[in-house]
């Protein structure tokens, strides 16, 4: 660039005379493959060979993956125990009233382990028909307040659970307020099974989303309407892992949240007795509560969906490949046959 | 000429997109209302029981509106706003492609084509009628003096060039007075100004190409117009200088069709009136004693060769006659009211009893490639109308020589003429009847109408004429004024035809502005038309490429782009709607606002923008099979039914994405941000494959845009996942480590694309469209190409033989001319006497053509 500039300035006199010529030329578009729309292009078409082999390839890849995922899912041992109805005394007519009245609501359940479960065994609670994704609910939180003590007053998004008697609530909002508060303790053969409640939340949440200097304040202070669990106001939010797990809202109305981990293996036919505190109100909206013990696989928990879907898609692709091959063999059709190309345009076809 | 203010033009495609947008808007309103009602019902029945949502027991009435408004917000993305921006972008690129096209540069003058209006390229692909000017558009507008007839003696008939005719040169050197007078009129009866260059050469500045040709021809015959000094003209003839003083110039108007000058011979003081003009303007005012038969014959012969004819005449004026008239003329010149009319009237008083000197014939050659262009475009289903100010005979000859109309027995010309209302009505009805009968036959029927009959037809029989216009694929309108040209365009537009008007002169400006697409030829007549036009091209033959290549590609690309824009918006919107069913119909958005924004403006618009490089068929294939334009003309690629296809596809894909994401990410994995990103990834992957499947040709840019976009989706989301304060902190890293994420995404792709691929393959192979067949042929090297390349060969050769010959050699005119005469049996049946078909014979009015400002 530099050299051409100096050259043009030194040849200024000559350049002025010459400048007319390039200017006239510059009106002409420069030739490039882009401007002429002549970029080299690959122009594939859907030949039977390509399409049939694509479908075959998909089926060949998908069916094994489906089998593997199905096996992975089948390997997972999962125990689901629904307790919401059984933990209400038989003579109770008004379940909602029962759950809302304070008092001891402990309940004992016995679970038999069907197959050997290798540690870690994840303990989940599952709620059905609970809309954590409801618009009013899902927004009702203040991330700034959770993260940082200095933003404690940032509660504008938390309505209607932002203030109590003019004092700010930490953590504010409906999500925190409705924190799940059933508790479980497990024993096997009358010896306590330890449930590890450490590291059940996401590490990133503990470190970046929930501040270590943020302490609960005025939480569940409203004596008349208590939502869910209360929090120990001397422990910072970053260590309140139940809250952190709960605050990761679920996208579906049926969801499981991690309660803890049992870090011993369970043998088949072990009977585990669970002592649980049935506190959480799902009765008013006919929600179900389930206790879930599950091992895990490389694909996650027990979920046959992926395996079945892969097998279905793979099978369908195989079927399509077969059909297309048959049709191709039975009724071959020459591609690009000019006899299909009639230009007789009847006026009615307009 | 008043150019007027051009209205902004809306393409048929834009209109269709607007219509579809309207339909989607209605759909959106319905969805919002239905979901709004459902949401309120759910709120009052279910949500009151969901204590954790804490709906207030009592709420003001407008609370009812909140849920519908929430859904309105969610569904507002249903109508892609980005479509306007994308369309504007690609349209300006289409225009650039036209500007850049090397094959549309006029090599003679170096002028490239230019798209002034960048917004209407798609309409080029949907043109149904082309209304074309003749002179300068079909012809070169390079006038060459070819023949003349001086006092009954024909010159140039043998050689085709009077300037090379020895007899004429002999006549000049023998100073035959008739020839001298003839040459004098040629040289000075004009408004040409001679200029001298430094080297002493003379060149002429003429407003009219005809005058230029005449003056040049006179100079070649030793009558050199040397100088014009104020009113004194200097003529050099064989070494001697003759001076004339111009007393008055009686200007040309299209009503008078002639112009005259009054000059005084400086040698002997004689006052002369020199006149030249169209035959019908000159021959009737010849002096009674003169025999004009020879001139009539000359005019007829010349015009049948497609030559433009002018009659030259003169008269010696007596001094007092001139003086008397001069006063009248000055008075007329200074009147304020009806000046033009007054001047014409005064001029008429002087222009009578002329002595006819002879007839000149000027050739205006057809431009290169005109017949081929017209034939290709007619094959493409485009109807041609020629609107010219020229004579009927000249127009028909040009029309024949450029494939405009086919010679008999295939072609057939129907004439509408008449001087009175009744005559016009009768001939119009006759023509209409023939048209109705012959529409079922594969015949090339054209009608010919002249300006006067057209005026009457448009005024009193508009309905009948409109019907005729719809029935007729070809028409020749001669002797029409600029405003009539515009009226014809208006008529065709009112029948919902997409019209393209092409012209080169100032008299075409109105028609060009009136038409859906105006194309100007930046030719010899200045840039007036080119400036007013939407597209300016250097030569008529570029029209083929403009329409078949640029117009067609633009249409196809916009059709894909616009429907795809709706598809992707609907896809994300359907997912939101489905999600609302599992979120208590509360109007929760599954996707965060950032993703939604990026989805519309970034992830989904980049890959589709490069579809401006997509070519479904190569240019050569399209040129060989212009019929394929039918798909664009009939709007086969963008209409409610294709749109319904895309709508269905987006619904299907939304179901696939939604069902698979919520089932694969159920239970302990059903974390909001994760599910949202899984669904979004599914959408983006599907987009990439949809664009890939719908793209016909992949250049490197398309590959980069499609797959690079997919990569950048991950890249951008990784960046956002790395920001602690963002809502999706760590989400994307987390997902990318999960095998279940990838299995889910691949499942979405396979389940979403499989049926579409199968359907497309089935259609492509077993129910192929013509485009598909040509694609297959083109890419597999099938037999069509060879077939196509052989087929058009014989025609151009034949045309090349016919068109120049018909102009230069009289003996060759018969083969072209005769067939038109012969009545075809079935038309005779319908008319008995075959009235419209003998118009060549019965036409006694002879013709020549003249126009100084060339009103054709």
Please tell me if residue B116 touches chain A, with a CB cutoff of 8 Å. Answer: no
User: How many other CB atoms sit within 10 Å of the CB of residue B166?
Assistant: 10
Please tell me if residue B63 touches chain A, with a CB cutoff of 8 Å. Answer: no
From B425's Cα to the closest Cα of chain A, the distance in A is: 27
Secondary structure string (H, E, C) spanning B791-819: CCCHHHHHHHHHHHHHHHCHHHHHHHHHH
The pLDDT score that the predictor gives to residue B18 is 92
Decide if A305 and B743 are in contact by the 8 Å CB cutoff: no
Report the DSSP pairing between strands B308-317 and B139-150. Answer: unpaired
From B742's Cα to the closest Cα of chain A, the distance in A is: 10
Please tell me if residue B670 touches chain A, with a CB cutoff of 8 Å. Answer: yes
Cross-strand partners of B312: B276, B358
Between the alpha carbon of residue B784 and those of residues B99, B625, B765, B774, the distances in Å are 32, 10, 16, 7
Decide if B52 and A303 are in contact by the 8 Å CB cutoff: no
Token duo for residue B137: 């558009």
Decide if A137 and B701 are in contact by the 8 Å CB cutoff: no
The pLDDT score that the predictor gives to residue A25 is 44
User: How many other CB atoms sit within 10 Å of the CB of residue B326?
Assistant: 15
- Please say if B133 is a catalytic residue: yes
Q: What's the average pLDDT block by block, 10 residues per block, for chain A (350 residues)?
A: 38 37 47 84 88 95 95 93 89 85 87 91 94 91 88 84 82 90 90 91 90 88 74 89 93 94 92 91 91 91 93 96 93 73 45
From A271's Cα to the closest Cα of chain B, the distance in A is: 25
Q: Which residues contact A83 (CB under 8 A, 6 or more apart)?
A: A107, A109, A276, A278, A289, A290, A291
Of A178, A188, A142, nearest in space to A257 by CA: A178
Please tell me if residue A208 touches chain B, with a CB cutoff of 8 Å. Answer: yes
Gap between the Cα atoms of B829 and B107, Å rounded: 51
Please tell me if residue B779 touches chain A, with a CB cutoff of 8 Å. Answer: yes
Decide if A29 and B105 are in contact by the 8 Å CB cutoff: yes
- For CA atoms A200, A205, A208, A214, the dihedral sign is negative
Closest Cβ–Cβ partner in B100, B729, B784 for A35: B100
- For CA atoms B217, B222, B228, B231, the dihedral sign is negative
SS3 B102: helix
Decide if A177 and B52 are in contact by the 8 Å CB cutoff: yes
Cβ atoms B372, B799 nearer than 8 A: yes
Chain A residue numbers with beta carbons less than 8 Å from the beta carbon of B671 are: 248-251
Token duo for residue B375: 């034939």
Looking at chain B from residue 757 to 776, which residues have their Cβ under 8 Å from any Cβ of chain A?
757-758, 760-761, 764-766, 768, 770, 773-776
Of B364, B85, B439, nearest in space to B210 by CA: B364
Tell me the Ramachandran region of residue B353: left when phi exceeds 0, alpha when psi lies from -120 to 50, beta otherwise: left
**What number is the ipTM of this complex?**
0.89
Cβ atoms A78, A111 nearer than 8 A: no
Token duo for residue A36: 């002429």
Kindly identify which residue of chain A lies nearest to residue B754, measuring between CA atoms.
Answer: A317
| Full-model pTM | 0.82
User: How many other CB atoms sit within 10 Å of the CB of residue B291?
Assistant: 11
What is the H or E stretch that residue A328 is in?
A: helix A305-330
Looking at chain B from residue 627 to 646, which residues have their Cβ under 8 Å from any Cβ of chain A?
627, 630, 634
Of B658, B394, B744, nearest in space to A66 by CA: B744
Gap between the Cα atoms of A257 and A126, Å rounded: 6
Residues in chain A: 350
Token duo for residue B37: 């009602």
What does the pLDDT look like over A333-350, one tens digit per residue? 777 666 666 654 333 333
Token duo for residue A293: 């013990």
Gap between the Cα atoms of B247 and A334, Å rounded: 80
From A250's Cα to the closest Cα of chain B, the distance in A is: 4
Between the alpha carbon of residue A34 and those of residues A48, A191, A328, B536, the distances in Å are 32, 78, 39, 22
Token duo for residue A194: 């330890």
SS3 A291: strand
Cβ atoms B539, B107 nearer than 8 A: no
Cβ atoms A310, A63 nearer than 8 A: yes
Gap between the Cα atoms of A144 and A132, Å rounded: 20
Please tell me if residue B664 touches chain A, with a CB cutoff of 8 Å. Answer: yes
Chain B residue numbers with beta carbons less than 8 Å from the beta carbon of A59 are: none
Looking at chain A from residue 31 to 90, which residues have their Cβ under 8 Å from any Cβ of chain B?
31, 35-37, 39-48, 51, 54-55, 58, 62, 65, 69
Q: What is the CA radius of gyration of chain A?
A: 34
Laid out side by side, the sheet with B474-478 consists of B114-115, B535-537, B517-521, B499-503, B129-132, B383-387, B474-478, B444-450, B411-416
User: How many other CB atoms sit within 10 Å of the CB of residue B342?
Assistant: 18
Cβ atoms B472, B443 nearer than 8 A: no
Q: Which residues contact B213 (CB under 8 A, 6 or more apart)?
A: B143, B144, B145, B362
Chain B residue numbers with beta carbons less than 8 Å from the beta carbon of A65 are: 743
Gap between the Cα atoms of B498 and B383, Å rounded: 11
Of B804, B767, B739, B604, nearest in space to B684 by CA: B604
Asked if residue B34 has a cis previous peptide bond (ω within 30° of 0), the answer is: no
Token duo for residue B792: 């058009």
- Out of B133, B444, B450, B614, pick the active-site residue: B133
Please tell me if residue B100 touches chain A, with a CB cutoff of 8 Å. Answer: yes
Token duo for residue B855: 């009103």
Report the alpha-carbon angle B9-B15-B17, nearest 5: 130
Token duo for residue B432: 């209409």
The separation between CA B442 and the C-alpha centre of its own chain, rounded to angstroms, equals 25
Kindly identify which residue of chain B lies nearest to residue A335, measuring between CA atoms.
Answer: B776
Q: Which of the 8 DSSP states describes residue B550? A: I
Decide if B754 and A29 are in contact by the 8 Å CB cutoff: no
Gap between the Cα atoms of A193 and A293, Å rounded: 13
Please tell me if residue A98 touches chain B, with a CB cutoff of 8 Å. Answer: no
- For CA atoms B117, B122, B123, B124, the dihedral sign is positive
Chain B residue numbers with beta carbons less than 8 Å from the beta carbon of A284 are: 49-51
Gap between the Cα atoms of B276 and B187, Å rounded: 11
Q: Which residues of chain B have pLDDT under 50?
A: 1-3, 784-856
Of B452, B507, B504, nearest in space to B483 by CA: B507
Half-sphere exposure of B441 (CA within 13 A, CB side): 15
Cβ atoms B379, B626 nearer than 8 A: yes
Please tell me if residue B698 touches chain A, with a CB cutoff of 8 Å. Answer: yes
User: How many other CB atoms sit within 10 Å of the CB of residue B65?
Assistant: 12
Asked if residue A171 has a cis previous peptide bond (ω within 30° of 0), the answer is: yes
Looking at chain B from residue 548 to 567, which residues have their Cβ under 8 Å from any Cβ of chain A?
553
Cβ atoms B427, B395 nearer than 8 A: no
Between the alpha carbon of residue B539 and those of residues A199, A278, B404, B534, B840, the distances in Å are 78, 89, 17, 15, 32
Decide if B729 and A208 are in contact by the 8 Å CB cutoff: yes
Chain B residue numbers with beta carbons less than 8 Å from the beta carbon of A54 are: 757
Beta strands in B409-485 (DSSP E): 411-416, 444-450, 474-478
Closest Cβ–Cβ partner in A28, A250, A335 for B671: A250
Of B23, B286, B294, B266, nearest in space to B154 by CA: B294
The pLDDT score that the predictor gives to residue A223 is 63
Looking at chain A from residue 216 to 245, which residues have their Cβ under 8 Å from any Cβ of chain B?
227-228
The pLDDT score that the predictor gives to residue B782 is 54
Please tell me if residue A248 touches chain B, with a CB cutoff of 8 Å. Answer: yes
Report the DSSP pairing between strands B535-537 and B517-521. Answer: parallel
Cross-strand partners of A112: A271
Cβ atoms A113, A270 nearer than 8 A: yes
Gap between the Cα atoms of B309 and B280, Å rounded: 11
Token duo for residue A206: 């503990």
Q: Which of A251, A255, A300 to mutate to test the interface with B (most CBs of B within 10 A)?
A: A251
What does the pLDDT look like over B719-732, one tens digit per residue? 999 988 888 889 99
Chain B residue numbers with beta carbons less than 8 Å from the beta carbon of A345 are: 381, 627, 630
Of B221, B216, B313, B241, nearest in space to B272 by CA: B313
Token duo for residue B724: 């602690």
Between the alpha carbon of residue A244 and those of residues A150, A157, A200, A290, B325, the distances in Å are 19, 18, 9, 20, 109
């Amino acid at each position: 660039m530099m050299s051409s500039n100096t050259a043009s300035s030194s040849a200024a006199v000559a350049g002025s005379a010459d400048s007319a010529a390039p200017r006239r030329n510059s009106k002409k578009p420069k030739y490039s493959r882009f401007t002429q729309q002549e970029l080299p292009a690959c122009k594939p078409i859907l030949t039977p060979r390509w399409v049939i082999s694509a479908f075959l390839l998909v089926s060949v890849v998908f069916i094994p993956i489906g089998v593997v995922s199905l096996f992975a899912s089948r390997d997972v041992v999962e125990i689901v125990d629904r307790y919401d109805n059984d933990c209400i005394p038989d003579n109770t007519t008004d379940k909602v009233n029962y759950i809302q009245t304070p008092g001891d609501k402990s309940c004992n359940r016995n679970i038999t382990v069907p197959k050997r479960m290798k540690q870690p065994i994840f303990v989940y609670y599952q709620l059905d028909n609970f809309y954590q994704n409801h618009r009013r609910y899902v927004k009702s939180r203040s991330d700034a307040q959770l993260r940082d003590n200095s933003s404690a007053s940032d509660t504008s998004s938390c309505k209607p659970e932002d203030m109590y008697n003019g004092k700010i609530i930490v953590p504010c909002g409906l999500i925190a307020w409705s924190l799940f508060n059933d508790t479980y303790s497990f024993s096997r053969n009358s010896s306590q099974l330890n449930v590890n409640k450490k590291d059940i939340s996401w590490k990133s949440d503990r470190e970046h989303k929930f501040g270590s200097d943020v302490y609960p304040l005025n939480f569940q202070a409203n004596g008349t309407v208590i939502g869910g669990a209360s929090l120990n106001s001397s422990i910072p939010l970053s260590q309140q892992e139940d809250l952190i797990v709960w605050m990761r809202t679920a996208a579906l109305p049926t969801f499981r949240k991690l309660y803890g981990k049992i870090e011993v293996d369970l043998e088949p036919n072990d009977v585990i007795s669970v002592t649980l505190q049935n506190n959480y109100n799902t009765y008013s909206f006919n929600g179900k509560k389930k206790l879930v013990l599950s091992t895990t696989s490389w694909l996650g928990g027990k979920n046959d969906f992926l395996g079945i879907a892969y097998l279905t898609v793979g099978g369908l692709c195989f079927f399509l490949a077969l059909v297309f091959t048959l049709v191709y063999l039975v009724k071959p059709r020459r591609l690009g046959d000019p006899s299909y190309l009639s230009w007789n345009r009847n006026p009615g076809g307009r | 000429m008043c150019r007027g203010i051009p209205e902004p033009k809306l393409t048929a495609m834009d209109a269709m997109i607007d219509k579809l947008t309207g339909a989607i808007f209605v759909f959106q309103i319905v969805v919002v209302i239905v979901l709004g009602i459902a949401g309120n019902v759910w709120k009052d029945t279910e949500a009151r029981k969901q204590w954790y949502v804490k709906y207030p027991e009592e709420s003001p009435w407008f609370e009812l509106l909140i849920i519908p408004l929430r859904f309105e917000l969610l569904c507002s993305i249903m109508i892609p706003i980005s479509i306007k921006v994308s369309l504007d972008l690609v349209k300006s690129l289409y225009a650039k492609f036209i500007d850049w096209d090397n094959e549309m540069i006029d090599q003679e003058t170096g002028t490239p084509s230019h798209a002034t209006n960048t917004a209407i390229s798609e309409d080029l692909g949907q043109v149904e009628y082309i209304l074309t000017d003749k002179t300068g558009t079909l012809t070169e507008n390079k006038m060459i003096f070819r023949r003349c007839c001086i006092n009954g003696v024909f010159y140039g008939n043998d050689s085709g060039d009077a300037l090379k005719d020895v007899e004429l040169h002999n006549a000049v050197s023998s100073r035959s007075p008739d020839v001298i007078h003839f040459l004098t009129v040629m040289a000075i009866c004009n408004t040409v100004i001679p200029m001298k260059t430094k080297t002493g050469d003379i060149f002429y500045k003429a407003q009219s190409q005809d005058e230029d040709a005449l003056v040049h021809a006179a100079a070649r015959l030793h009558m050199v117009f040397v100088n014009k000094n104020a009113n004194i003209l200097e003529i050099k003839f064989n070494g001697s200088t003759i001076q004339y003083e111009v007393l008055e110039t009686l200007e040309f108007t299209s009503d008078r069709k002639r112009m005259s000058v009054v000059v005084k011979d400086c040698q002997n003081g004689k006052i002369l009136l020199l006149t030249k003009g169209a035959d019908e303007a000159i021959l009737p005012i010849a002096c009674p004693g003169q025999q004009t038969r020879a001139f009539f014959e000359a005019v007829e012969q010349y015009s049948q060769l497609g030559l433009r004819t002018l009659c030259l005449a003169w008269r010696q004026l007596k001094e007092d006659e001139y003086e008397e008239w001069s006063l009248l003329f000055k008075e007329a010149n200074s009147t304020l009211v009806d000046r033009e009319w007054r001047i014409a009237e005064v001029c008429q008083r002087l222009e009578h009893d002329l002595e006819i000197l002879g007839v000149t014939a000027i050739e205006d050659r057809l431009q290169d490639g005109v017949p081929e262009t017209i034939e290709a475009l007619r094959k493409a289903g485009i109807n041609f109308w020629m609107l010219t100010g020229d004579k009927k005979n000249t127009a028909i000859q040009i029309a024949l020589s450029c494939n405009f109309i086919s010679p008999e027995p295939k072609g057939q010309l129907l004439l509408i003429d008449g001087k009175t209302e009744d005559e016009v009505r009768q001939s119009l009805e006759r023509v209409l009847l023939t048209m109705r009968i012959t529409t079922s036959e594969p015949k090339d029927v054209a009608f010919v109408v002249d300006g006067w009959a057209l005026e009457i037809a448009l005024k009193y029989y508009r309905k009948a004429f409109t019907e005729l216009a719809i029935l007729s694929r070809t028409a020749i309108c001669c002797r029409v004024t600029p405003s009539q040209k515009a009226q014809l365009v208006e008529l065709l537009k009112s029948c919902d035809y997409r019209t393209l008007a092409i012209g080169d002169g100032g008299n075409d400006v109105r028609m060009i502005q009136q038409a859906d697409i105006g194309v100007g030829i930046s030719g010899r007549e200045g840039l007036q038309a080119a400036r007013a036009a939407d597209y300016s091209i250097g030569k008529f033959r570029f029209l083929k490429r403009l329409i078949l290549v640029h117009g067609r590609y633009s249409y196809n690309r916009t059709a894909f782009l616009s429907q795809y824009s709706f598809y992707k918006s609907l896809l994300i919107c359907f997912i939101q709607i489905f999600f609302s069913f599992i979120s208590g119909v509360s109007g929760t958005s599954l996707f965060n606002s950032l993703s939604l924004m990026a989805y519309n403006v970034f992830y989904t618009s980049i890959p589709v923008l490069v579809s401006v490089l997509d070519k479904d068929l190569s240019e050569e294939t399209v040129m060989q099979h212009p019929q394929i334009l039918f798909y664009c003309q009939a709007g086969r690629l963008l209409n409610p039914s294709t749109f319904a296809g895309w709508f269905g596809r987006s619904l299907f894909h939304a179901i696939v994405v939604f069902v698979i994401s919520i089932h694969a990410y159920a239970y302990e994995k059903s974390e909001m941000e994760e599910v949202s990103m899984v669904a979004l990834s599914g959408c983006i992957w599907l987009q990439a494959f949809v664009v890939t499947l719908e793209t016909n040709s992949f250049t490197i840019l398309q590959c980069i845009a499609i797959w690079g976009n997919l990569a950048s989706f991950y890249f951008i989301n990784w960046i956002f996942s790395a920001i602690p304060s963002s809502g999706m902190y760590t989400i994307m890293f987390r997902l990318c480590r999960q095998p279940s994420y990838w299995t889910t995404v691949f499942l979405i792709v396979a389940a979403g694309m499989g049926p579409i691929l199968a359907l497309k393959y089935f259609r492509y192979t077993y129910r192929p469209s013509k485009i598909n067949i040509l694609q297959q042929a083109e890419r597999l090297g099938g037999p069509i190409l060879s077939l196509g390349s052989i087929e058009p060969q014989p025609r151009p050769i034949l045309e090349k033989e016919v068109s120049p010959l018909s102009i230069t050699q009289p003996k060759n005119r018969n083969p072209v001319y005769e067939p038109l005469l012969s009545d075809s049996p079935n038309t005779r049946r319908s008319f008995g006497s075959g009235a419209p078909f003998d118009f060549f014979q019965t036409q006694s009015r002879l013709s020549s053509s003249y126009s100084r400002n060339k009103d054709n």
